[in-house]
Chain A
């Protein structure tokens, strides 16, 4: 089992540029979550999907953020345009079918916006 896969692992971009983060959940998991981690705000839920359908996006900070899950094995989180305050580690997590609760985190993408 490869676990949750995220790419890229590190991203450095300039303010105003578009950033796309990618996630492949564990095969067979039907729930996918995007979290953001900063020193100031800790770990925050941004959005989550069940069976590829967005359920709660109330954590998405602004309209500059959008997320999609076109199929069961792929999700993207896009920031357009990016700002320095978006600098953080972005984690994707997936959870098994049936809502057992255990969420397995990917290695994260460290985003730096200069």
Chain B
């Protein structure tokens, strides 16, 4: 089955700086890679996703890159703000996302004022 590794487990950055979270996956059949943000006590919320036919996708301050050859994908957050503090999860799925998601262990992002 799929295995998703996520690093780092904790990331502390100064407000206004950029944050990068990296994930690797093992199953070459995976073709859908979403990122979820989870605040304490809340549900995971989809913030951005990318499919295997695309190398990069951007939505305002958030971008995701995918390297299929190396089987890794990354989340980039620019101009970080206090409300970006949360746990971020990467995930992978085959079947274009119609299958269940395999999640990484999460990154606790802390934005220092």
Q: How far is the CB of A110 from chain B (nearest CB, A)?
A: 9
Q: Which of A20-28, A43-51, A70-78 lines the interface with chain B?
A: A43-51
Does the CB pair A103–B46 fall under 8 Å? Answer: yes
Q: Which of B16-24, B59-67, B75-83, B97-105 lines the interface with chain A?
A: B97-105
Please report the C-alpha to C-alpha distance between residue A58 and residue B44 in the assembled complex, in whole angstroms: 22
Does the CB pair B43–A105 fall under 8 Å? Answer: yes
Does the CB pair A99–B96 fall under 8 Å? Answer: yes
Please report the C-alpha to C-alpha distance between residue A105 and residue B91 in the assembled complex, in whole angstroms: 14
Q: Which residue of B lies closest to A59 (CB)?
A: B100
Q: Which residues of B contact A43 (CB under 8 A)?
A: 44, 89, 101, 103, 106
Q: Which of B32, B34, B100 contacts A56 (CB 8 A)?
A: B100
Q: How far is the CB of A28 from chain B (nearest CB, A)?
A: 15
Does the CB pair A99–B98 fall under 8 Å? Answer: yes
Q: Is B85 an interface residue (CB 8 A)?
A: no
Does the CB pair B98–A101 fall under 8 Å? Answer: yes
0/1 string, B32-55, CB within 8 A of A gives 1: 101010000011111001010000
Interface CB pairs A-B, < 8 A, 27 = A33-B101, A35-B101, A42-B89, A42-B104, A43-B101, A43-B103, A45-B100, A48-B100, A55-B99, A56-B99, A59-B100, A95-B97, A99-B96, A100-B96, A101-B49, A101-B51, A101-B96, A102-B46, A102-B97, A103-B46, A103-B101, A104-B46, A105-B43, A105-B44, A105-B45, A106-B43, A107-B42
Residues of A whose CB lies within 8 Å of any CB of B are: 31, 33, 35, 42-45, 48, 50, 55-56, 58-59, 91, 95, 99-108
Residues of B whose CB lies within 8 Å of any CB of A are: 1, 32, 34, 36, 42-46, 49, 51, 89, 93, 95-106
